[in-house]
Amino acid sequence: MVRILFNHSHAYAYTSSECYVRIKEEFHHEGDVNIGVFLPVHTFYTANKIPHASVPSMFLFNLCRYNFKIHQLVLALIFAIKEINRNPHLLPNISLGYDFYNVPYSERNILTNVLFWLTGLIRFQKFHCNYNCVNERKSAAAITGLSWAKSAHIGTLLELYNFPQLTVGPFEPIFSDRGQFTSLYQMAPKGTTLSLAMVSLMLHFGWTWVGLLIRDDHRGTQFLADIREKMEKNQVCIAFVEMIQSTLNSLAYKYWKSLGIIQETLANIIIIFGDNDSLQGLMSNIGQQILTNKVWVMTSEWDVTNIADYFLLDSFHGSLIFSQHHEQVPEFKNFIQTVNPYKYPEDNYLPKLWFLFFKCSFSELDCHLLDNCQPNASLELLPRHIFEIEMNEDSYNTYKAVYTVAHSLHEMNLQQLQMQPFGNGERMVFFPWQLHPFLRNIHVGGNMALEWKQKLDDDKYDILNFWNFPKGLGKKVKVGNFLPNAPQSQQLTLSEKMIQWPERYSEIPHSVCSEGCGPGFRKVSLEGKAVCCYDCTPCADNEISNETDMENCMKCPENHYAETEKKHCLQKAVSFLNYEDPLGMSLTTIALCFSVLTTVLLGLFVKHRDTPIVKANNRTLSYTLLITLTVCFLCALLFIGRPNTTTCILQQITFGGAFTVALATVLAKAITVVIAFKVTFPRRVLRWLIISKAPNFIIPMCTLIHLVFCGIWLGTSPPFLDQDAHAEHGHIILVCNKGSDFAFHGILGYLCFLALGSFSMAFMSRNLPDTFNEAKFLSFSMLVFFCVWITFLPVYHSTKGKVMVAMEVFSILASSAALLGFIFVPKCYIILIRPDKNSVHHIRNWPHSRSNNPLKT
């Protein structure tokens, strides 16, 4: 008894019909020239190894697994031969036939049918490899597939006869060794850009965390090396790699270690590279788990349509399949729709299909199919995951292989006719090895006029989406393609709206190790982790990132600043110590008020110029000092407002010059007091110093020295307009650069030297009669001047921008106000409040007066 079981694109059902045993595995269609075809349409195996009682090497309760997807290749072969035989321009007067033999799963018996075909013997006859038992050799070539291992085994035998072999399975690099496989031709394109196509898909959807299920053989190892290189180059990371053994045990339903890894991984995208034999067991377990949270990316060599179980298809809904692009043959679909076992009785598998799916029955006498089937029975009615009516990649390679042989025979026939025309009734006579030169010419594209020909180096891929909607449909829909020879931005084309994702996802799935770092953040790699696993850290000050997952933040230009979220650089506003700012307005008001006050005091002194208090200590110096202090207060206005090169130069010249004159005037007043009260010169010399007004020469001398300093400063490194982009966030501060810090500090040092001299002179005369003596007030004013400018220096160097300018203005106003207040406020008090003290009578009655030292001017 043989049990017929359908699973994994292999239909399994149970029947007691003995016709499944009695119908032969092989079948033939006679022609003038035949093609041998070796494909694994069905496989016998046993679950319980109970030996048969009478037949050696056989077991009871055998299981028969049918692969109807491979049967489509047989139908493509029949279709191609039918087309060729009807074409009057290709092999005229010569018909093509075929000899089909099933290839068993076991490698032990894989060459049995090949030997029967080569020797012409039937089963159970003893054959000899060096003998041909048929009178006339009609076989031209052999077509094998889909497993490269089975093709290699068959090729080893065919090489002994130099017999042409065409493989229709995936491209196998080993077969390119012309030293070992001199008679073998591969119909499939090389497929060298598959890894690039898959990585391009990952990049398109932003999938950077991907798992790999790969069969454990040389093809899988090569694919792993290729895709790992492409992924590393494009920063796509491998979450896990599971190498699946290609053994018979993989067909058993057992719990794989790989299944646990797939269920636990955070990767939502898993790439599958393998064939039916290597991945069938694992994918069956996955299907049974109903994993609807994974998107499977695979090749047509093994795709989800291999799963025939209605309940397992949900796990693979939304999968993406890469299929090597091939031209569609429109007539093939119509052929599939109309094919039936009555129209093509030589195909022994069509009756079995009709029996299983269309309620037909066999005749118990000869196992012929009875005409009692379901009305309008057609392969088109079968679910797509069981049988496809469109020509797939492998069917097209089979179709192409038949035409390759036909065109080679046609070329050889033309050559024979040119050399020696055939007589009546004669046919083309040849040895299979004679076909090689013509096969090579056709195979490498020598005959480019053939419309059916596809370049073997063309690695275009169609991207298919598996739909299980409605339930059980199992349909593959083209949603895009990959063109490796196109510009990089145009290589991948996708129609995203057509893509159906697994039921769990309402939008494009994500598959990342770490969530993306949004704008304003940058990635920080984690030690010992893949590059796709990282932390996010905010950008540093004045740096931005305006894209997702940026490795480094971008520094804003000098005239821009990063906004709070650090996503964009904004233009900095130009700023300066403006009159409209509260700080600028306050300093301006203070400067103007003090300048007005100083002017008023000057007017008051002019009005009371003949009073003793004004005439004391040289009223000319007092007038000069008041005018200079007015200039000092007003020069502070040069520091407020929008600066330019002119104001930058005037600031330092005016500030230094005004204070030089002011301090020189104070020094002159202090020296005047010393001359009047402290010197021990003879009376004649003293009178000459007073009359000649020698102290007044101090002012021009000190001013001249200052002008020399300024000349050197302006000649070597003058002040200039500068921008400070860092002092205040979001602003560019216009400031005056001193040009030479040494010159600036030199001027301050010179002013401090004058202040020190004035303080020394005033300190020497601090205990002289109060009526005439202003030495104490001069000392206090110089002491405050020192405090202001000594405090100014550290504060000035620790501030920036407008605050620094404001500090300089404040120091100017404070030191000027100190001179004004300590020197002139006491005199104004006497003039305005105590006029009784501002009289000659009061002076004469002062006990400490020294009438012999008049200081009137």
pLDDT at residue 185 above 90?
Answer: yes
The reported pLDDT for the residue numbered 16 is: 39
- Taking alpha carbons only, the member of 618, 643, 635 closest to residue 774 is 618
Residue type, 761: M
The reported pLDDT for the residue numbered 309 is: 56
Assess whether the previous peptide bond of 470 is cis (omega < 30° from 0).
yes
Distance from C-alpha of 206 to C-alpha of 707, rounded to nearest angstrom = 71
Distance from C-alpha of 177 to C-alpha of 159, rounded to nearest angstrom = 13
pLDDT at residue 116 above 70?
Answer: yes
- Taking alpha carbons only, the member of 608, 622, 594 closest to residue 832 is 608
The reported pLDDT for the residue numbered 678 is: 54
Instruction: Give the confidence band of 538 by pLDDT, cuts at 50, 70, 90.
Output: very high
Averaged pLDDT, 840-852:
49
Instruction: Give the confidence band of 78 by pLDDT, cuts at 50, 70, 90.
Output: very high
> What pTM was estimated for this model as a whole?
0.67
The reported pLDDT for the residue numbered 2 is: 37
- Taking alpha carbons only, the member of 348, 310, 290 closest to residue 8 is 310
φ/ψ of residue 589, rounded to 5: -60, -45
- Positive or negative torsion for Cα 668, 673, 675, 676: positive
User: How many residues belong to the chain?
Assistant: 857
CA distances from 347 to 6, 31, 68 (A): 20, 15, 13
User: What value does the mean pLDDT of the chain take?
Assistant: 80
Q: Measure the CA dihedral 657/661/663/668, to 10°.
A: 160
pLDDT at residue 134 above 70?
Answer: no
3-state DSSP assignment of residue 591: helix
CA distances from 405 to 394, 431, 780 (A): 17, 14, 119
pLDDT at residue 404 above 90?
Answer: yes
φ/ψ of residue 7, rounded to 5: -170, 145
Count the Cβ atoms, other than its own, within 10 Å of residue 631: 18
CB 612 within 8 A of CB 774: no
- The DSSP code sequence of 519-544 is TTEEEEEPTTS-TT-EEEEEPPTTEE
Q: How many CA atoms lie within 13 A of 413 on its CB side?
A: 20
The reported pLDDT for the residue numbered 766 is: 63
The reported pLDDT for the residue numbered 275 is: 74
Question: Who's near 425: CB < 8 A, 6+ residues apart?
Answer: none
pLDDT at residue 836 above 80?
Answer: no
Owner of token pair 């000594």? 790
The reported pLDDT for the residue numbered 407 is: 93
pLDDT digits (tens, 9 = 90+) for 233-278: 998 999 999 887 765 444 443 445 667 777 788 889 999 888 766 6
- The DSSP code sequence of 241-289 is EEEEP-SGGGGS----HHHHHHHH-S--EEEEE--HHHHHHHHHHHHHH
The reported pLDDT for the residue numbered 122 is: 59
3-state DSSP assignment of residue 741: helix
Query: How close are the terminal C-alpha atoms of the chain, in Å?
Result: 147
pLDDT at residue 853 above 50?
Answer: no
Distance from C-alpha of 373 to C-alpha of 375, rounded to nearest angstrom = 6
The reported pLDDT for the residue numbered 252 is: 44
The pair of structure tokens assigned to 221 is: 């190892």
Pairing of strands 731-737, 521-525: unpaired
Distance from C-alpha of 475 to C-alpha of 395, rounded to nearest angstrom = 17
3-state DSSP assignment of residue 851: coil
Averaged pLDDT, 58-81:
79
CB 306 within 8 A of CB 280: yes
Q: Could you tell me if residue 17 is left (phi over 0), alpha (psi between -120 and 50 degrees) or otherwise beta? A: beta
pLDDT at residue 661 above 80?
Answer: yes
- Taking alpha carbons only, the member of 101, 56, 707 closest to residue 349 is 101
Averaged pLDDT, 740-763:
84
Residue type, 353: L
CB 655 within 8 A of CB 745: no
The reported pLDDT for the residue numbered 753 is: 87
Q: Where does residue 367 rank: exposed (0-12), middle (13-18), buried (19+ CB within 10 A)? A: middle
pLDDT digits (tens, 9 = 90+) for 562-615: 888 888 898 888 888 888 888 889 999 999 999 999 999 989 888 888 888 777
CA distances from 499 to 128, 207, 241, 509, 778 (A): 57, 16, 26, 12, 93
Which of 494-498, 548-552, 655-659, 698-702 has the largest mean confidence?
494-498
Percent helix, strand, coil in the chain (nearest 5)? Answer: 45, 15, 40
Task: State what percent of residues in the chain have pLDDT above 90.
Answer: 23
Element (H, E) at 320: strand 320-324
The reported pLDDT for the residue numbered 1 is: 32
The reported pLDDT for the residue numbered 98 is: 94
pLDDT at residue 96 above 90?
Answer: yes
**pLDDT, greater one: 765 or 468:** 468
CB 9 within 8 A of CB 116: no
**pLDDT, greater one: 61 or 399:** 399
The reported pLDDT for the residue numbered 482 is: 94
Distance from C-alpha of 8 to C-alpha of 274, rounded to nearest angstrom = 14
Averaged pLDDT, 206-213:
91
The reported pLDDT for the residue numbered 254 is: 41
The reported pLDDT for the residue numbered 847 is: 47
Alpha carbon 21 to its chain centroid, in Å, reads: 60
The reported pLDDT for the residue numbered 857 is: 40
pLDDT at residue 721 above 80?
Answer: yes
The pair of structure tokens assigned to 81 is: 């031969």
The reported pLDDT for the residue numbered 537 is: 92
Averaged pLDDT, 495-499:
92
pLDDT at residue 135 above 60?
Answer: no
The pair of structure tokens assigned to 256 is: 């794989």
- 459-476 as b/e, with b when 16 or more CB fall inside 10 Å? bbbbbbbbbbeeeeebbb
Question: Who's near 386: CB < 8 A, 6+ residues apart?
Answer: 9, 11, 68, 308, 474
Averaged pLDDT, 380-395:
83
Count the Cβ atoms, other than its own, within 10 Å of residue 46: 14
pLDDT at residue 516 above 90?
Answer: no
- Residue 173 DSSP class: G
The reported pLDDT for the residue numbered 594 is: 92
pLDDT at residue 426 above 50?
Answer: yes
φ/ψ of residue 214, rounded to 5: -135, 140
- Taking alpha carbons only, the member of 781, 783, 764, 765 closest to residue 773 is 765
Averaged pLDDT, 92-98:
91
CA distances from 180 to 204, 387, 756 (A): 41, 36, 106
Q: How many CA atoms lie within 13 A of 568 on its CB side?
A: 3
Owner of token pair 């400018």? 789
Q: Could you tell me if residue 26 is left (phi over 0), alpha (psi between -120 and 50 degrees) or otherwise beta? A: beta
CA distances from 382 to 185, 214, 308, 336, 478 (A): 33, 31, 11, 11, 20
Residue type, 155: G
pLDDT digits (tens, 9 = 90+) for 273-331: 887 666 666 666 666 666 778 898 988 776 555 555 555 677 788 889 998 888 888 89
The reported pLDDT for the residue numbered 203 is: 94
pLDDT digits (tens, 9 = 90+) for 409-424: 999 988 887 776 655 5
The pair of structure tokens assigned to 312 is: 């397992």
CA distances from 529 to 238, 515, 532 (A): 11, 15, 8
